[in-house]
Amino acid sequence: MVRALSNAQRALKHSQTKEVAYKDAVAIYTESRWNFEMSSDPNCKAPISLRDLVARYKGLISLSTLSRRVKGLPSAREAGCLRTKLKTEEEELLVKHLKEQVALGFPYTHRGITEVANSILLARCEREHSKFQPLGKRWSAKFVLRHSNKIKTYWSTSLHSTRAQCVNAAVLEAWNTLRESVQRGDFTDGIPILPENIANMDETGWNPSVCQTHSVIGPTGQKLQYEIQSGMRENITIIGTILADGTFTRPIVIFKGANLLTRWGAGDPTHNVAKAQ
């Protein structure tokens, strides 16, 4: 399912579309005037006017703004970048660092990324012997919006540290090689494994009394953003299984209890309530 864009994201996308239109219009106008001035043909076509260019883009660009852009004045976005406290290269470095932390399983929250950005700003102010002014409360949200093609906000999903340490390129490559050989029938005298005999099982758990998810920042294009957490907690577990042919089994719910009570399964239409002691 495609997530709907927020009002700020739609405004940014529209601004980027207009920026492309202004750059194209300036290039067309500049080329048209250069060809006219360099031509020795007295019948050479006159250069295109700014009004004709504005009409060509059907209201996407304005005459006054195009006139300023032709004179070499910066766009509102470029002028805004000059007013930001962090320089462009500093923000790019911060985005790179954020992605590295995500790969390690420790994504930043808005508060965390603001603290890192403040440390970068403070270090530069100390080098330049200038006054340090911390970033505002809304800086991180605007930062994510400026780099929405690279990072976005997610709700974190817990991933235990023991499981996270087992996820690396060598382990995944070895597992995929073994899976492919098993499916081909290398271990069953050449008889391939049928899709209805291939199952994938996964489990998820949560503590009903503790909220373990919060808003974190990660690279664009992901469905889930895991966050490593340490410690052991009693929780409720749900196990689901799906087969390669598209069929699935009924989910299993596991929770701790000294005795199995009849009322635990009263509202379960699948009658798959299990217990773990």
Predicted TM-score of the model (pTM)? 0.47
- Amino acid 272: pLDDT: 58
- Amino acid 119: pLDDT: 92
Greater model confidence, 109 or 76: 109
11 falls in which pLDDT band (50, 70, 90)?
Answer: confident
Q: Given a cut of 80, is residue 110 above it in pLDDT?
A: yes
- Amino acid 82: pLDDT: 53
The answer to whether 230 and 161 are in contact (CB under 8 A) is yes
Measured between alpha carbons, how far is 203 from 63 in angstroms, rounded to an integer? 59
DSSP H helices in the chain: 7-38, 50-56, 63-70, 76-83, 88-104, 110-128, 139-146, 161-165, 169-184
Q: Return the DSSP state at 265.
A: G
Q: Given a cut of 80, is residue 203 above it in pLDDT?
A: yes
1 falls in which pLDDT band (50, 70, 90)?
Answer: very low
Greater model confidence, 62 or 162: 62
- Amino acid 88: pLDDT: 84
Q: Given a cut of 50, is residue 273 above it in pLDDT?
A: yes
Task: Quick: pLDDT tens for 146-169.
Answer: 888 888 888 777 666 666 667 677
When pLDDT is averaged across residues 132-147 and rounded to a whole number, the result is 87
- Amino acid 271: pLDDT: 59
Q: Given a cut of 50, is residue 275 above it in pLDDT?
A: no
- Amino acid 2: pLDDT: 53
- Amino acid 115: pLDDT: 92
Average pLDDT, the chain: 79
Greater model confidence, 122 or 231: 122
- Amino acid 171: pLDDT: 79
**Per residue in 149-159, is it b (16+ CB within 10 Å) or e — as a string?**
eebbbbebebb
- Amino acid 277: pLDDT: 39
- Amino acid 102: pLDDT: 83
Q: Please say whether the dihedral angle defined by the alpha carbons of residues 150, 151, 156 and 160, taken in this order, is positive or negative.
A: positive
